[in-house]
Structure 1
Amino acid sequence: MGCADVKQLLLCTGDVTKNLKSGIWNTSRSASNLELIKALENGNFQELKDTGDVADSHTKIFVAPNDPLQNLDGKADDYEIIAKLFFLDGKNINVENRRETTDQVFQYLNQLLGIQEVSTLVVSFPNVAFSKKNLKDTPDSQVYSSIDQIPKEEIQSWIDTWKIFEEKVRQGKIGTLGISEFGVPELEQLIPNVEISPESTQINTGGLCELPLDLTKYTEQKRLKVFLHSDPAALIDEKEITEAIRHACPNFPIRARADWVVRYTILSRKTSVIHRKGYFVKGSLI
């Protein structure tokens, strides 16, 4: 099957802690997606031929040849696995599609890396950013300036999507849940309407030196951990995913849309050292 027959692609970066060497950094990119973008730019992806039942007939999987996928060595209990799922469906939110995405994520983690469960799953919804300072919308992303601007249907989609992850917790696939970029107004919409509350919220403060007082009080009341991060609202856009796919399929004539990204970080429980870290990027052809 040639590239012209492909409807979807999965790009697997391999272990970015090995792939990224000193000297590749571009100071014009200060956000954490530099790691992903550079891994895609330098991947020279090759098609994974022996996929078994991992992908359907319309999906091709590409991996970085210098770091072939391999199952975890040792026992699962030896590692803490943190996965962050970025939904990039801001223009076409569909909860059933998100259910399919969630199932795909766990299928790929299991069959490509031997990961059957994650210690923590952090969820990143589109169109939401904690700090609006110096925020620039991309063609694929619209960030609301306040909770009052967010349609009720989209807020309901957070709740309905969260229930999908609650099912995974009950199935033993997820240990704890976290949320990304949710401040007090967003947390107040989510937490009262779900059964399993997030244990943490990750926020990009946009350079603020101190956390807002309302967030500090609310997270203390709800016993939520607050982590700072530098992830942008969308890790990758249409132009970047298209360029990455062109590396996988030279002279590819069609644009592509990034559907979702998963970043997995595997830590040794004994040493707290990163054992492996990488990304799965799912794209659809436009």
Structure 2
Amino acid sequence: MTRIILSTGNVILDGPSIIRKPGTSRSNLELTNSLRNNILAAQKEYASALHNGNGNGNGNGHDHASSHAGQNGHSSRPAPELWTEREDSTLYVPRIDWESAGLQESRSRYEITVKLFFLPTAPPEKRFDYIKEALRLVKKELGVDDVDLLIASFPGLAFEGDCEWEADRKNATMGNDDEEVTTWGFLEKLYHQGQIKQLGIAEFGTEKLKRFLDKVKVRPTVNQINIRNCCNVPPPLAKLAKEKGIELFTHHDSTNVLPSGTLRELLGQGPQGAGVLADGDLNSSGIKGEIIPEWVVKYTAFVRDRGVIENKGYFASAETVEEA
């Protein structure tokens, strides 16, 4: 079994971005494109270092790289060993330069928001491990000890319908209340430890929110909903949120942010793949077996007094299980 951690790095490429709420970029497209760009950049960087005779810092020589670079006809693609990094059973795709990580100013200048997507392909009983790992990576990338807001996005929830009333009604039967409350208990532990200052949820309509509030100890301060198909916030939801002191935000995130097929295409041997997976080729040195997406985390570091996003990016985790 291998766990793969994918990262985009900072997707704000041309300096800080003026903040706009809600954003207009679909998270699944932004995630896929940013991961692909970061992988291509890493491949180019290490291939260039190899071409210039600088090596890759791990003792891999030119001959070793060349023996793998031509897999499936991709002669320009450097071997994964050059631009990825393995720590025990975890493979970082691409490798991360932690020394250059961190924010430019003091922590107090920033509002740091994290949105953690629990994917439907991963077992709910492992979510505490997912939360701790996602938060660890974000804090290490930004060089901080805590985040201001963590929003939990659960699988199976949506806010869709011909009108806001229908969307609210359909939402009441979605998801799994028990799993969501159990996961929230994990988040409450980190909240009480001071690692997370505020907690939020996504796609909770009126009835689901009522049931949720009756079962949790720490109330969410934010509820994100996607109203692209129904245009308006349901009045009962707006009323309940106001009574409970919960802010309602709209968003444009995908409810299926990282499907298995998309991930396999991104990491596989195809024309746009990274060459990390074997894709059923018994002669390939790539990772063999089924790939299971587990979670995706999106983070933003917003400079409070300048109204800009300085750092924004994603981490994603998947597990590969070799076939017997």
Contact 1:265-1:278 within 8 A present in 2 as well: yes
Partner amino acid, structure 2, of 1:10? I
Q: Considering fraction of residues, name the structure with more helix.
A: 2
Matches within 5 A, 1:66-77: 70-77=101-108
Contact 1:106-1:116 within 8 A present in 2 as well: no
Give the match for residue 129 of structure 2.
Answer: 100
- 1:65-104 C-alpha deviation (Å, 9 max, x unpaired): 899951222211121100000000x255423x10111111
Tell me the percent identity. 28
- For the aligned residue pairs, the C-alpha RMSD in angstroms reads 3.1
Give the match for residue 121 of structure 1.
Answer: 150
* Structure whose CA Rg is larger: 2
| Larger mean Cα displacement after TM superposition, 161-170 or 125-134 | 125-134
Give the match for residue 112 of structure 2.
Answer: 81
Residue 288 of structure 2 is aligned to residue 263 of structure 1: no
Distance 1:99 1:69 in 2: 28
Distance 1:210 1:71 in 2: 39
Task: From the superposition, tell whether residues 275 and 146 of structure 1 become closer, same or farther in structure 2 (CA, over 3 Å).
Answer: closer
Unaligned runs of 5+ in 2: 16-23, 44-55, 59-84, 164-168, 280-287
Distance 1:44 1:19 in 2: 18
- 1:204-248 C-alpha deviation (Å, 9 max, x unpaired): 113323211111111111121111111121211011111222344
Residue 32 of structure 2 is aligned to residue 37 of structure 1: yes
Give the match for residue 147 of structure 1.
Answer: 172
Q: Secondary structure at the match of 1:43?
A: helix
Task: From the superposition, tell whether residues 227 and 133 of structure 1 become closer, same or farther in structure 2 (CA, over 3 Å).
Answer: same
Contact 1:265-1:276 within 8 A present in 2 as well: yes
The count of residues paired between Structure 1 and Structure 2 equals 256
Contact 1:14-1:63 within 8 A present in 2 as well: no
Residue 240 of structure 2 is aligned to residue 245 of structure 1: no
Task: From the superposition, tell whether residues 277 and 148 of structure 1 become closer, same or farther in structure 2 (CA, over 3 Å).
Answer: closer
Task: From the superposition, tell whether residues 218 and 102 of structure 1 become closer, same or farther in structure 2 (CA, over 3 Å).
Answer: same
Contact 2:39-2:93 within 8 A present in 1 as well: no
Contact 2:151-2:202 within 8 A present in 1 as well: yes
Distance 1:44 1:68 in 2: 19
Deviation at 1:145, TM superposition (A): 4.5
Distance 1:114 1:212 in 2: 39
| Larger mean Cα displacement after TM superposition, 39-48 or 110-119 | 39-48
Deviation at 1:133, TM superposition (A): 5.6
Give the match for residue 257 of structure 2.
Answer: 235
Give the match for residue 202 of structure 2.
Answer: 180
Contact 2:148-2:196 within 8 A present in 1 as well: yes
Distance 2:88 2:97 in 1: 26
Partner amino acid, structure 1, of 2:28? N
Q: Secondary structure at the match of 2:227?
A: coil
| Larger mean Cα displacement after TM superposition, 176-185 or 38-47 | 38-47
- 1:189-212 C-alpha deviation (Å, 9 max, x unpaired): 211111110011100113323211
TM-score (structure 2 length as normaliser): 0.70
